Chains A and B, each alone.
Chain A
Amino acid sequence: MIQSIIKRDGRVVLYEQGKIAKAILRSMEAAHEGDASDAARVANDVQLAIEEKCRNSVPQIEEIQDAVENQLMNHGFNESAKSYILYRANRTRAREANTSLMKTIDEITKVDARSSDMKRDNANIDGNTAMGSMLQIGSAGARSYNEAYLLRPEHAKAYRDGDIHIHDFDFYSLTTTCTQIDIQKLFKNGFSTGHGYVREPQGIQSYAALGAIALQANQNDQHGGQSIPNFDYGMAEGVKKTFHKIYCQKIAESVEDFLDEDNKYDSIVILVEKTERETGEMAQLKESDVFDHTVAAKISEEGGIPLDSAKHLVKRARVRAEKRTDRETFQAMEGFVHNLNTMHSRAGAQTPFSSINYGTDITPEGRMVIKNILLALDAGLGHGETCIFPIHIFKVKEGVNYNESDPNYDLFKLSCKVSAKRLFPNYVFLDSPFNLQYYVPGRPETEVATMGCRTRVMANVYDPEQQIANSRGNLSFTSINLPRLALESSGDEKVFYEKLDEMMELVAQQMLDRFEIQAQKHVYNYPFLMGQGIWLDSEKLGPFDEIRDVLKHGTLSLGFIGLAETLTALYGHHHGESQEMQDKGLAIMNHMREFCDNKSQQHKMNFTLLATPAEGLAGRFLRMDQKRYGKLNGVTDKEYYTNSFHIPVWYPVSVSDKIRLEAPYHALCNAGHISYVELDGDTTKNVEAFETVVRWMHDCQIGYGSINHPVDRDPICGYVGVIGDVCPRCGRKEGETIPHSKVADLQKLYPEMPAFQGVE
């Protein structure tokens, strides 16, 4: 007679036959066979079998479960047996997830981020802070749950084994990736952040402050980086209002001085607005003699000031207003950059991952914004530090800023000078055919814009009338371990393509499953993103509406890593080494892009091909493959897989060849792409060379590119530039000391030097 059983954790509990019968009945119900009396009979035989087997010892729970499987089959309940086995396997998976979750949380809690690679998976989260750790614990819990309960078994296996990587997996059931926030639309009539209502801003300072808040608010509704596609066009509205206000102020001050009277501001505002109605022109940066003369005539008439004096006075007021607006715009831009580098989102653990796009607004106000955001970037933070956020993206366009005769060419030049010092802006090229096909002059929303590391959204099969950058973004992305597929194909191209097709089908299905979860959310789940109409067409929905249809403006992106290693595994060398391999590389990419295009047509949803950023993935896939296949020359012999379609970072190649070889992949990877080149030495001393590289990128039809060069800083003397072993300004080596007197002397020479912490 069985009295007790031993559970998995070693505890001994009372044996209850009823519990076993209940579990058997559940399996029978799932398989649509048998009834309660059948279940009781099977449970009885389970008990007999156990008594036979264990005699006087106490049975283990696993032994009882084995007996249940056997007896179900003995009684001919084969389907019930299958369902019981599946149930058991699922329970095991959930249990294992629990154990590994506890281990993970243990590491997050106890280990310093410097010695825990896991805690540095995302360099933008400080794993050593309380909120950073809390975020990582929550993330680990969500991953565990999602894997055990939300994925189909074949998707869970592919993810666990490293065949694929499901990005932002912790947010699987919660939200989508990113959006291009159209600030022009947002600021019109004001908005609510979900915590309070904000009126339509009235000057560049508040435009800039609200721009930062918008990025922060949306960062809490989505898991990816946030971006502004039309920074110059949007902020220009604020400059317009600021100029208008200051123009009136300066005239009022001059009139007050002239007449020796006070409080003229309100009457001047009325006078200027009246002039605007009469002339049909605005008091704006663009100088208008007609307008200024009309204002002067009215002042002369109403204030009894001689006309010539009034004209002179308005002229001087205009000059001062322009200067002051310029200064306020600079301060606003400086504040914007400082805000984005210091404000926190997501439980305080992250600085908002933000991008801003600009460069094409040719109005005087837009130009003032572009100039000053570049100057603010150039100035750096309080101690001259290089700003990490936002990512600046300069839009290059022939006829606008690329040629010497273009209206914004001066700003393009300035951008090169700043990027040569600060690594930003990056460049997006509107003339490349795959971007130019959407471009409509006068409609900024048709200018391609980039967000985060590289994400790009333009085509729209769901709504071909709205092929725009604004108010759209990526929903989710999953990457394929391309080198693994090559390694599993033993050099057989045909086998490789078959495996690739199979894997792409699996990924497409997984992203559709994820979409199904995302689509069932409601507007109220995203108070800012959907509630404030940030996302395209969400303004047409009510708070309790499902977001399924509007989400279809977004993209589902299939990504990949390690084209170079894939080619080496399949054919022996990579696409930097021969034209033949370049052709093979492009053939693989073409094939993947075709798959995405076909899926898009089939589902009327935007499937796109992504050159995955792969910050954490570069090491994850490699480590798993090294364990499987060992260190294979040119494939698994490094500590990372090469990013997307890049020529390997260690392979010597000229700037022009790197750009020429990588450009054709930009046309194929329509979900996002980036190429960078590494320049040697201090690029600030050779801005011309820097500009040449940007122009090569443009002429080779790169989509999105940037130029890397060393930017070092000595926090003691504040020097920014290239530092080898020795700081060129103060002469110390890393970790070495210098006398305070020397720092004091240098401080006189370089007034922008920081005050060293602990000394002052």
Chain B
Amino acid sequence: MVRENRDAKMGKGIGFERIRRITGYLVGTMDKWNDAKRAEERDRVKHDMSKNA
């Protein structure tokens, strides 16, 4: 069995899960998002913590 074989490889073709907030709820994998919201998620910039108000 594979289990016995310490040299067997695992993970082929398996990606990372990336959980993001879509509108107010979360979606487990990005491939369920529609094209527009995917583009929006890609464009999101990080906001810095400086207090410059």
State the Cβ distance, A658 to closest chain B Cβ, in Å.
6
A638, A679, A739: the one within 8 Å of B46 (CB): A679
Q: How far is A743 from B33 in the complex, measured between Cα atoms in Å? A: 31
A117 touches B34 (CB 8 A): yes
State the Cβ distance, A530 to closest chain B Cβ, in Å.
26
A618 touches B36 (CB 8 A): yes
B9, B18, B31: the one within 8 Å of A737 (CB): B9
B39 touches A638 (CB 8 A): yes
With A123-B27, A639-B40, A657-B53 as known contacts, state yes or no: A716 contacts B17, CB within 8 Å. no
State the Cβ distance, A611 to closest chain B Cβ, in Å.
10
Q: How far is A38 from B40 in the complex, measured between Cα atoms in Å? A: 63
List, in ascending order, chain B residues with CB within 8 A of A613's CB: 23-24
Q: How many residues of A contact B (CB 8 A)?
A: 80
Is A664 among interface residues, defined by CB-CB distance under 8 A?
no
List, in ascending order, chain B residues with CB within 8 A of A734's CB: 15-16
In the complex formed, the residue of B with least CB distance to A706 is B21
List, in ascending order, chain A residues with CB within 8 A of B8's CB: 739-740
Q: How far is A716 from B15 in the complex, measured between Cα atoms in Å? A: 9
A651 touches B45 (CB 8 A): yes
With A388-B25, A453-B25, A657-B53 as known contacts, state yes or no: A678 contacts B6, CB within 8 Å. no
With A391-B25, A650-B44 as known contacts, state yes or no: A713 contacts B17, CB within 8 Å. yes
Interface residues on B, range: 35 or more
In the complex formed, the residue of B with least CB distance to A672 is B24
A739 touches B19 (CB 8 A): no
Is A756 among interface residues, defined by CB-CB distance under 8 A?
yes
Q: Which of B21, B47, B50 has the most CB of A within 10 A?
A: B47
State the Cβ distance, B48 to closest chain A Cβ, in Å.
5
With A737-B11, A743-B10 as known contacts, state yes or no: A652 contacts B27, CB within 8 Å. no
Is A711 among interface residues, defined by CB-CB distance under 8 A?
yes
With A618-B40, A678-B47, A679-B47 as known contacts, state yes or no: A735 contacts B22, CB within 8 Å. no
B5, B24, B33: the one within 8 Å of A120 (CB): B33
List, in ascending order, chain B residues with CB within 8 A of A649's CB: 40, 43-45
List, in ascending order, chain B residues with CB within 8 A of A452's CB: 24-25
B3, B7, B37, B48: the one within 8 Å of A640 (CB): B37
List, in ascending order, chain B residues with CB within 8 A of A447's CB: none
State the Cβ distance, A554 to closest chain B Cβ, in Å.
20
Is A628 among interface residues, defined by CB-CB distance under 8 A?
no
List, in ascending order, chain B residues with CB within 8 A of A424's CB: 26
A654 touches B44 (CB 8 A): no
List, in ascending order, chain A residues with CB within 8 A of B46's CB: 678-680
Q: Which of B3, B20, B48 has the most CB of A within 10 A?
A: B48
List, in ascending order, chain A residues with CB within 8 A of B50's CB: 654, 656
State the Cβ distance, A618 to closest chain B Cβ, in Å.
5
Q: How far is A735 from B33 in the complex, measured between Cα atoms in Å? A: 21
In the complex formed, the residue of A with least CB distance to B13 is A735
List, in ascending order, chain B residues with CB within 8 A of A616's CB: 34
List, in ascending order, chain B residues with CB within 8 A of A426's CB: 24
A759 touches B32 (CB 8 A): no
Q: How far is A311 from B30 in the complex, measured between Cα atoms in Å? A: 59
In the complex formed, the residue of A with least CB distance to B23 is A613
A737 touches B6 (CB 8 A): no
Q: How far is A679 from B41 in the complex, measured between Cα atoms in Å? A: 14
Q: How far is A739 from B10 in the complex, measured between Cα atoms in Å? A: 6
B49 touches A655 (CB 8 A): yes
Is A126 among interface residues, defined by CB-CB distance under 8 A?
yes
List, in ascending order, chain B residues with CB within 8 A of A723's CB: 16, 18
Q: How far is A743 from B22 in the complex, measured between Cα atoms in Å? A: 32
A121 touches B34 (CB 8 A): yes
B16 touches A712 (CB 8 A): yes
Is A571 among interface residues, defined by CB-CB distance under 8 A?
no
B36, B43, B45: the one within 8 Å of A622 (CB): B36
List, in ascending order, chain A residues with CB within 8 A of B33's CB: 120, 123
Q: Which of B28, B44, B49 has the most CB of A within 10 A?
A: B49
B5, B7, B24: the one within 8 Å of A391 (CB): B24
State the Cβ distance, A116 to closest chain B Cβ, in Å.
10
List, in ascending order, chain A residues with CB within 8 A of B3's CB: 740, 759-760
B37 touches A710 (CB 8 A): no
In the complex formed, the residue of A with least CB distance to B48 is A654
Is A736 among interface residues, defined by CB-CB distance under 8 A?
yes
In the complex formed, the residue of A with least CB distance to B19 is A711
- Interface readout for A716-732 with B: 1 if CB under 8 Å, 0 if not? 10000001000100001
B18 touches A710 (CB 8 A): yes
B49 touches A654 (CB 8 A): yes
A123 touches B32 (CB 8 A): yes
Q: Which of A389, A452, A639, A732 has the most CB of B within 10 A?
A: A639
In the complex formed, the residue of A with least CB distance to B40 is A640
Within 8 A of B (CB), among A699-714: 706, 708, 710-714
State the Cβ distance, B8 to closest chain A Cβ, in Å.
5
In the complex formed, the residue of B with least CB distance to A641 is B36
Q: How far is A613 from B37 in the complex, measured between Cα atoms in Å? A: 11
State the Cβ distance, A144 to closest chain B Cβ, in Å.
21
Interface residue ranges, A against B (CB under 8 Å)? 113-114, 117, 120-121, 123-124, 126, 225, 353, 385-386, 388-389, 391, 423-424, 426, 452-454, 613-616, 618-620, 622-623, 638-640, 643, 649-658, 660, 674, 676-680, 689, 692-693, 706, 708, 710-716, 723, 727, 732, 734-741, 743-744, 756, 758-760
Q: A689-B49, A738-B11, A759-B3 are in contact. List 20 more A-B contacts (CB 8 A).
A: A120-B33, A124-B27, A385-B28, A615-B34, A623-B36, A653-B47, A654-B50, A654-B53, A655-B49, A674-B23, A676-B21, A712-B17, A716-B11, A727-B16, A734-B16, A735-B11, A739-B6, A739-B7, A740-B10, A759-B10
Complex A-B: 14 CB contacts under 8 Å? A123-B22, A123-B32, A423-B21, A423-B26, A613-B24, A616-B34, A640-B37, A679-B47, A711-B18, A713-B16, A736-B11, A738-B9, A740-B5, A741-B7
Interface residue ranges, B against A (CB under 8 Å)? 2-3, 5-28, 31-37, 39-40, 43-53
> Which 8 A-B pairs rank lowest in CB-CB distance, beginning with the nearest?
A619-B36, A453-B24, A737-B9, A741-B6, A639-B39, A613-B23, A640-B36, A680-B46
